[in-house]
Amino acid sequence: MNHYSRPVPMRGPYLTPGVIALIVLALIGLAALGARFLFGLGAVSNLTTAYPWGIWTPTIKAGGVALAAGGFTTAALGHIMHREEFEPIIRPALLTAVLGYTFVALSVCIDIGRWYFIWHPLVMWNGNSALFEVGICVTIYLNVLYIEFLPVVVERFKGRVALPGSLARWDRSAERLLAALDRGLERTMFVFIIAGVVLSTLHQSSLGTLMVIAGPKMHPLWQTPVLPLLFLLSAISVGLPMAIIESLLSSRSFGLKPRMDLLAELGRLTVPLLAIHLGFKIGDMVIRETFVHLMKVDAVSVLFTLEVLLGLVLPLRMLVSAKARRSPPMLFAAAALIAGGVLLNRMNTFLVAYTPAYAAKTYYPAFGEVAVAVAFVCLQVLIYRAVVMIFPVISLPDPTFVPKARYAIRG
C-alpha cells in the first residue's frame, strides 16, 4: 500500500542520556571557546604563524561545508530533477545544511586573530582572492538556506498565531504576514533553489583552489591543478550519504521506522557519483605519476591509501550490492565511510599534505581546539533535535495526506 508522508513535529522527551552527554561535551567546548575570546588564540590552540589554521579549518569549515552538501544535492534531486518521491528527505537535509553552514560561518570568527573584523570581506572586496570567493559565496548561500527553510516556519505557525496578553492584538497582522510569505515563497522559491545549487558548486570547488595556490608547500599526492574539481566531486558524492546518515539516526532517535525504500534508492544513486569521484582521483594520480609516492610506507602514503580505500573503494563495493542497500546497518556503514573519507580528505589536504616553508615545530592540535570542534558538532545535534520537535521537518506516513507540489520548480 502506498502511503504518502506529511512532515510533523516530533514528540517525546528532549532530554535523554545521549542528549545529556552531548550537553556536557558542548559545555566543555564552550568553556574553551570562552577562553579563546577572553585570552586570545594562544590560550587554547597551538596555531602559529607557520600554521595559521589547525583542525578547525579541515573539520568545522572545509569538512563542515562538504558534509552539509546534502542540502543542495537533495534539493537538486527533488526539485530540479522532479523526483518528488524524495520529498520526505529534503527538509531534514535542508535543516542539516542550515545548521552546518551556520556553524561554518561562526567558526570563521574563531581562528582569525581580530575576530571583530569578520565583516571586512563583505565590504572590502578582493576579486582576485579565492578565499574571498569562498567567503562571499558561503555568506550568500547561508541566507539562501534560511529563505529555503522559511516555508517550514510558515507552515508551523500559519493559522496558529496566538500571542499572549496585550500582544494578542497583533495576531491578525502576524497571520497576514505569514499568508503573504506563503504566497511569495510559493511563487519565488524556485529562484532560491537554483541559486543554492549554483552557489554550492562555486564555493565547494574554491575550497580546493585555496590549496592549489599553496604550490610546493603541498605534498604531490594532493597538490594537483584539478583539486577544485576533486573537492566538488567529493561534496556531490557525500551529499546523499549524509541524507542517509541523518535519516537513519533520526529514525533511531525518535523510534521511527526508517524509509528504506527511499534510502536504498539514495544509496543506488550514490554509486555513479562515487565511481566518478574515484575515477577522477585515480586518473589524476596516474596521469601525474604520483603513485610513486605510495611505494614508500610512511604516514602520508598510509593516510592517502586509507582515504581512497575506506572512503571510496569499500563503500562503493558495498553500495553496488542491493542486499547491502536494503540493510540499515550496512547502508549506514557505507554512508558513514563516505562521510569519514571526505572528512579525512580535508584533514589530509589542509594538514597532512601542507608543510610550511618555515616552521620551528610540527603542529599538533591542543585540547582546546579539539574541545571546540567537538562542541560544535554536539551543538548542531542538540539544535537539530530541538528544531524537529518544534517544526514540521521529519515526515511520517499518512495515507490520507495528498502532497502538494509546492516550493518546487515546475516544468
Domain residue extents for the chain: 10-45+366-392, 57-363
- At residue 345, the pLDDT reads 94
Residue 310 DSSP code: I
The secondary structure of the chain in percent helix, strand, coil, rounded to multiples of 5, reads 70, 0, 25
The whole-number pLDDT of residue 411 equals 33
Mean pLDDT (the chain, rounded): 88
Per-residue confidence (pLDDT) for residue 248, from 0 to 100:
94
CA distance from start to end of the chain: 29
- Is residue 119 over pLDDT 80? yes
Decide: residue 193, CB within 10 A, 0-12 exposed, 13-18 middle, 19+ buried.
buried
Which residues lie below 8 Å from residue 164, measured CB to CB, with a gap of 6+?
none
The reported pLDDT for the residue numbered 347 is 92
What local confidence, expressed as pLDDT, does residue 266 receive? 95
Number of Cβ atoms within 10 Å of the Cβ of 14: 10
Minimal CA–CA distance to 107: which of 59, 144, 149, 140? Answer: 59
C-alpha 260/C-alpha 247 separation (Å) is: 10
pLDDT at 128: 81
C-alpha distance from residue 49 to each of 35, 56, 195, 347, 368 (Å): 20, 15, 37, 19, 18
What is the grid cell recorded at 345?
A: 580528505
Inter-residue contact 224 to 288 (CB < 8 Å): yes
Classify 57-363 by CATH class.
mainly alpha
Alpha carbon of residue 54 to chain centroid: 19
pLDDT tier, 401 (very low <50, low <70, confident <90, very high otherwise): low
* Range with lowest mean pLDDT among 121-125, 211-215, 312-316, 397-401: 397-401
Q: Of 169-183, 316-330, 342-356, 391-405, which one has max mean pLDDT? A: 316-330
- Which residue shows C-alpha cell 616553508? 357
Res 222: pLDDT: 93
Cβ 269 vs Cβ 310: under 8 Å: no
Q: How confident is the model at residue 400 (pLDDT cuts 50, 70, 90)?
A: low
Distance from C-alpha of 200 to C-alpha of 232, rounded to nearest angstrom: 9
Q: What is the mean pLDDT of residues 358-379?
A: 89
Calculate the CA dihedral of residues 319, 323, 326, 327 and round it to 10 degrees: -90
**Residue 195: all three cell numbers together:** 541559486
Residue 348 corresponds to which cell in the numbers above?
589530509
CA 395 to chain centre: 21
DSSP, res 289? T
Mean pLDDT of the 370-394 span: 94
